[in-house]
Amino acid sequence: MRLYYKYLLILFKSQMQYRTSFWLLSVGQFFIPLTIFAGLYLLFERFGQIKGWQFFEVALCFAIIHMAFSLSECFARGFDQFSSLVIKGEFDRLLVRPRSTFVQVLGSKFEFIKFGRLLQSIIVLVWALSNLPIEWTSIKAITLMLMIVSGVLIFTGIYMLAATMCFWTVQGLEVANIFTDGGREMAQYPLNIYQKWVARFFTYVIPFGTVNYLPLMYILGKTQGNGIIYLLTPIAGGLFILPCFLFWQFGVRHYRSTGS
Amino acid sequence: MKVYGSVLKLRLSMGMQYRAAALAGVATQFFWGFITIMVFEAFYEYAVQTPPISLREIISYIWLQQAFLVFITMWFRDNELFELITSGNIAYELCRPCELYGFWYAKLLAQRLSSAILRCFPILFVSFLLPKPYNMTLPPSLTTFLLFLSALLLGLFLLVAISMFLYISVFITMSPAGSLLVFSILGEFFAGLIIPVPLMPTWLQKIANVLPFRWTADFPFRVYSGHIPQNEAMIGILIQLGYLLVLVLLGRFALNRVIRKVVVQGG
Amino acid sequence: MIQLEGISKSYKIAKRSTGLRQAAKSLFYREHTIIDALKDISFSIKPGEIVGYIGPNGAGKSTTIKIMSGILVPDTGSCTIMGYTPWKDRIQYVKNIGVVFGQRSQLWWDVPVMDSFELLKDIYKVPLQEYKATIDLLIETLELQEIVQSPVRQLSLGQRMRSEIAASLIHNPKILFLDEPTIGLDAVSKIAVRQFIKTINKEKGVTVILTTHDMNDIESLADRVILIGKGSLLYDGHLEKLRKRFGTHKTITADYGKNTIPIQIPGTSILSWSPERVILSFDPDQTKTSEVITHLSDQVKLLDVTVESQPIEDIIVQLYKEYKI
C-alpha cells in the first residue's frame, strides 16, 4: 500500500511537469461527460421518462457508473495501457523487481486528469440525491458505497482481462472498449430498459446489473423484501475481479514460458 | 493534384496494415449503435406526444453515424501534425514545393477517407441484415440517395476545413489540448452526435442551425432517411458549399498569417 | 555462485504472411516455426568474476540473461544462482540481482533522477540507513552530483546510462547483469562506465555478467569470455587464450620521412604502404619485433612506430567464421 502511494506521488510529479496541459485536460474530462449528461437531460425534457424511470433516478445511475468508471480509469490505467508496456519490453523490468506484478502494473500509470470526470459525476450524484425522495437508512447508504466500489472492481477486471490478452496478441485489443467505454455507456441507464439478452449478458457475464439495477431499485424503494440481499448484490458483482486476477496470473506465467 | 492522390494512396495502404484494429473498431461501433438504438427505443415506447423524428429515421441516423464516425468526429486527429507544429519542425514542411494548406488538407482528408473506407462497408452491410426493428433501411428514392451522397461528401470537406482551424490554433497556443477540447465538445454536441438535432429544444436547434457543425453530420444523415425533404436538401447543399468556401478561404488566410509569424520569429 | 546446466529453450514463432488471402487464412490457423534459442547451455561462474557474454545478434544472449534474471522459464535444464532457482523463487531471488537493459530505461522520464532512486528504494525495501550510504557512494563514484536533480528527459545518453547503473545498484545486489551497457555512448562515457564496473567489482565483490558488441568493453573488463552462437556454447575461457589461439599476428605501423622506395622486410607482409607510412603484419613466433624495427630503421628515417596485437574484433570474426555462424 505504501509502495502504491509512492508510485502515485512520482506519477503526480511527472504529470505536474506539464501543468497547463494537465489543467486543460482535466477541464476536458469534466466537460466531455457533461455534454453526454446534457444530452440525457434534453431527452428527458422531451420524453419525460424512460420505461417508468424518472430523470433523477437515471441521473443517480449515471453518476454512479461514471464515478466508478473515472475512478478505475484513474487508478487502473496501468492495465488499460498495458500493451505499450509489453511492446516496449518494459514488462521484463517489472519481473526483475521483488514485488508482485499486479502492484507494479497498477503503479505504472495514473491519470490524474480523470479527476475532472470524477468531479463531474460527484456533482451529478449530489444533484440527483438531493432531488430524490429517498428514505435513507444506513443499509441504503452502505449499498450506495458498495455500488461504486463494485463498479470500480468490474471496470478494473475488464482492464485486466484486456491486459492479459496482450501476452498473446497486441492486435485488436480495442475490442475491450466494448466492455469498458461501451459498458459505461450502456450502464448509465438502468439495465432493464434494454432487451432481455443485453440485460442478461450484463448481469451474469459482466455483472453491471449488480451495480446499476438491482441495488438501484432497492435504494429508490422500488422493491419489497429484505434489504440485505440487495446489499449483497454489488458485493457479488465485485467478485468479478477474482477470475480476472487468476487469468492475469495465468497470462504472466504464459509470458514467462514463451517470452513472446 | 497528383501529390494529393499519392498521399491518399499511401494512407490507404498504411490503414490496411491495421486490419485488426479496424475490425475491433467496427465491433465497438456496432455495440455502441445497438445500445444507442435501444435507449431511443425505450424512450419512444412511452412517448407522450409524437416526437419530431420517427424511430425509423433515428435508427438509420445512428447507423450512418457509426459507419461514418471518422467523417464526423473531431477527436480523430493527426498527432504528427501537432508535433510538427509544437516542435518547430514545421520548417521541413515549408520546404515542400506545394502550398501548405492544400497539402495538409489533403493529408487530413486522406486519413479520414482511408479509415472510413475500411470501416463503413462492414458496418453498413451488417446493419442492413439486422432483424427488425434494428435494421437500416434504404433511402426513399434514388434522388434522395444521390443528395445524401453529395451532402455526406460536402460534410466531410467541411469538417476537414473546420479541423484545419484546430491545427492553426496550435500555432498560437502551442498545445492542442485546449482547442481540441472546445472543438470536440461544442462541435460534437452541435453536430448532433450526442442527440440528434431535431430532438433538441427549439432554442438549441436555433444555435445549431447557425453553427457549421450540424452540416457535417446531422444534415446528411437526415437527408438519407428523407426526414429532410428533397427541395430543402438542395438548399442545404448550397449552404454547405457556402460554408465550405468561406471556411477554406478563412483557414488559408489564417494559416498564411501564422506561418509568416513563425518564419519572422525564425522558427 | 551461478550454475547453469543443460539449459535449453525454444520459441514457437507464428509465420507472418503478407497479402489479403494469407491474412484471412491466418485467422483460422497459423503455421509455426520452432526456433531453438538455446541448446544445452552449461557453465558456472564464481563470486567476484567479470564475465563477458558475447555472440552475434540473435545468438541467444538476451534469452540467457532473461533466464538468469528470472524473467523466462527454460524448457529443460537447471539453473541455480545463490541457491535459488531464478524462475521459481522470483521475488526472493531478484532482491539479490541488479539488471541493466542498455536499450531501455528504468527511470521515470519526467521526474528528477533522485525521485526514481527513492521509489526504487521502496520497491526493494532498502532500509533508510543503508540506502543513504549506498546512494552517497554511487553518486560520488559515478559523478552524479550535478544531474540527480534534473529530470531524466533532460539528460544526455551517457548521463542517463550512469544513472541507470546507479539505479540497478541501490539494493546492493550481489550479481549485476548488464545487457549492452555501453550501447550508443560516446568514448568518454564508455570509459567512465567501464571504470565504475571495475570499481564495484573490486571493492564490493559484485559478480558481473555483461553482454556487449563492443570488444573494447570485453578487453578492458572481462578476463573470461563466454561465446555463444546460434544457441550453442562455443567457447568458455580466458580472453588471452582465445587471443593466443587465433591472434598470432602483430602489426607494426611506422611513420617516416618521405621515401618512395617500397619497403621489403623478410618475414612480414605489407598491409598498406604510402611514401610516409607503412603497416606491416608479422608472426611474432617466427620474426622478432626488434628485428622488424631494425630492418625498418635501416631502410627509412623512422619518425614513429607502434606495435599492436591483433584486435579482438578480428579474432571474433575469425571465430564466427570457424564455427560458421
Cβ distance C11 to A7 less than 8 Å, yes or no, reads no
Which residues in A43-54 are b (16+ Cβ under 10 Å) and which e? bbebbebbeebe
- The grid coordinates listed for B106 are 489533403
Cα separation, B248 vs B108, in Å, equals 14
Interface chains of chain A (3 or more CB pairs under 8 Å): B, C
- Chain A CB contacts of B82 under 8 Å are none
Calculate mean pLDDT across residues C126-135.
Answer: 92
- The Cα–Cα gap between A149 and A143 comes to 10
Dist. CA B209–CA B192, nearest whole Å: 11
| DSSP per residue, C184-233 | T--HHHHHHHHHHHHHHHHHH--EEEEE-S-HHHHHHH-SEEEEEETTEE
Q: What is the pLDDT of residues B64-104, one digit of tens each?
A: 998 888 887 777 777 778 877 777 677 666 666 667 888 88
Please give the grid coordinates belonging to residue C266: 623478410
Structural contact between residues C299 and C231, judged by C-beta atoms closer than 8 angstroms: no
With bands split at pLDDT 50, 70 and 90, how would you rate the model's confidence at B257? confident
Tell whether the model's pLDDT for residue A68 goes beyond 90: yes
Answer yes or no: are the C-beta atoms of B181 and A29 closer than 8 Å.
no
B267 pLDDT above the threshold of 50:
no
Is the pLDDT at C94 greater than 70? The verdict is yes
Q: Is B188 an 8 Å CB contact of chain A?
A: yes
What is the per-residue pLDDT across A185-219, written as a single tens digit (0 to 9) for each? Answer: 889 999 989 988 888 889 888 899 888 888 888 88
The burial of C155, by beta-carbon neighbours within 10 Å (0-12 exposed, 13-18 middle, 19 or more buried), is given as: middle
**CB contact at 8 A, A237 and A210:** yes
Instruction: Tell me the average pLDDT across C162-191.
Output: 89
Lowest mean pLDDT, pick from B67-76, C150-159, C165-174:
B67-76
Q: Which of A17, A88, A100 sits opposite C110 (nearest CB)?
A: A17
> What is the amino acid identity at position C11?
Y
Whether C249 shows a pLDDT value over 60: the answer reads yes
Edge-to-edge strand order for the sheet containing C76-81? C32-45, C2-14, C76-81
Alpha-carbon distance A205 to nearest alpha carbon in chain C (angstroms): 26
Closest-CA distance, A171 to chain C, in angstroms, reads 12
Nearest Cβ partner of B31 from A24, A28, A178? A178
User: What is the extent of the structural domain holding B254?
Assistant: 2-265
**Based on the structure, what is the number of domains in chain A?**
1
Residue B35 has its nearest CB partner, among A38, A52, A185, at A185
Tens of pLDDT, residue by residue over B222-237, are 999 888 898 999 999 9
Instruction: Name the pLDDT band for C8 (thresholds 50, 70, 90).
Output: very high
- Judge whether A25 is closer than 8 Å to chain B, CB to CB: yes
- Stronger pLDDT, C287 or C208, i.e. the higher one: C208
Question: What average pLDDT does range B116-144 have in this prediction?
Answer: 86
Contacts with B, A 152-181, CB within 8 Å:
171-175, 177-178, 181
Which range among A215-219, B37-41, C5-9, C247-251 shows the weakest confidence by mean pLDDT? C247-251
Contacts of B31 in chain A (CB under 8 A): 178, 182
B221 torsion bin: left (phi>0), alpha (psi -120 to 50), beta (else): alpha
DSSP string, B245-259: HHHHHHHHHHHHHHH
Residues of B in Cβ contact (< 8 Å) with A205? none
Give CATH superfamily name and number for C2-10+38-244: P-loop containing nucleotide triphosphate hydrolases (3.40.50.300)
Task: State the pLDDT at residue A172.
Answer: 64
Q: What's the whole-number mean pLDDT along residues C277-291? A: 83
Pick the CATH number of C248-309 from 3.40.50.720, 3.30.70.250, 3.30.530.20, 3.30.70.120: 3.30.70.250
pLDDT band at A38 (very low <50, low <70, confident <90, very high): very high
Going from the C-alpha of A169 to that of each of A251, B17, C14, the distances in angstroms are 11, 15, 11
**C95–A88 C-beta distance less than 8 A:** no
pLDDT at C15: 60
DSSP β-bridge partners for residue C86: none
Round to the nearest angstrom and report the end-to-end CA distance of chain B: 29
Put simply, the answer to whether B48 touches A48 (Cβ < 8 Å) is yes
Q: What is the pLDDT of residues A113-166, one digit of tens each?
A: 888 889 999 999 999 999 998 888 888 899 999 999 999 999 999 999 989 988
pLDDT computed for residue B12 by the predictor: 66
Which one, of A157, A153, A135, lies nearest residue A145 by Cα? Answer: A153
Q: Residue A99 has what pLDDT?
A: 86
User: According to the model, what pLDDT value does residue B266 have?
Assistant: 45
Chains contacting C (3+ CB pairs below 8 angstroms): A
* Contacts with A182 from chain B: Cβ below 8 Å: 28, 31-32, 35
Chain A nearest CA to C95, separation (Å)? 6
In angstroms, the separation between the Cα of residue A58 and the nearest Cα of chain B is: 12
- Mean local confidence (pLDDT), B193-213: 90
CA-to-CA dists, residue C3 to C39, C71, C78, angstroms: 16, 17, 8
| Those residues with Cβ within 8 angstroms of residue B242's Cβ, 6 or more apart along the chain or in another chain | none
Cell of C120: 526504487
Q: Which residue of C has its CA nearest to A8?
A: C119
For residue B28, the one-letter residue type is T
Q: In this structure, are residues C243 and C74 in contact, taking their beta carbons and an 8 Å threshold?
A: no
Q: What residues have CB less than 8 Å from A85, skipping those under 6 apart?
A: A78, A91, A94, A105, A108
Share of chain A above pLDDT 90, in %: 30
* Structure confidence at residue C325 (pLDDT): 60
- Number of independent structural domains in chain B: 1
CA C275 to CA C262: how far, in whole Å? 8
Look at the alpha carbons of A162, A163, A169, A174 in this order and tell me if their dihedral is positive or negative: positive
Mutate to test the interface with A, among B16, B41, B43 (most CBs of A within 10 A): B43
CA distance B244 to B242: 5
Looking at residues C225-236, what average pLDDT do you find? 87
Is the pLDDT at C27 greater than 60, yes or no? no
**Cβ of C90 and A17 within 8 Å?**
no
- Give A214 to chain C, closest Cα distance, Å: 40
Candidate from B146-150, B157-161, C44-48, C307-311 with smallest mean pLDDT: C307-311
Is the Cα torsion angle A134, A136, A139, A145 positive or negative in sign?
Answer: positive
Q: With H, G, I as helix, E, B as strand and everything else as coil, classify residue B139.
A: coil
- Residue ranges per domain, chain C? 2-10+38-244, 248-309
Quote the minimal CA–CA distance from C72 to chain A in Å: 4
Per-residue pLDDT at C222 exceeds 90 = no
**Amino acid of residue B49:** Q
Q: What pLDDT does residue C174 have? A: 92
Q: Say whether residue A39 is in contact with chain B using an 8 A CB cutoff.
A: yes
Count of pairs with CB atoms under 8 A, one residue in A, one in B? 98
Q: Which helix (H) or strand (E) holds A202?
A: none
pLDDT band at A15 (very low <50, low <70, confident <90, very high): confident
Substitution target in A175, A196, A198 with the highest count of B β-carbons within 10 Å is: A175
Q: Are C50 and C224 in contact (CB under 8 A)?
A: yes
Closest CA to C297 of C269, C257, C250: C257
Mean per-residue pLDDT for A231-259? 88
Going by pLDDT thresholds of 50, 70 and 90, the confidence category of residue C61 is confident
B264, pLDDT greater than 60: no
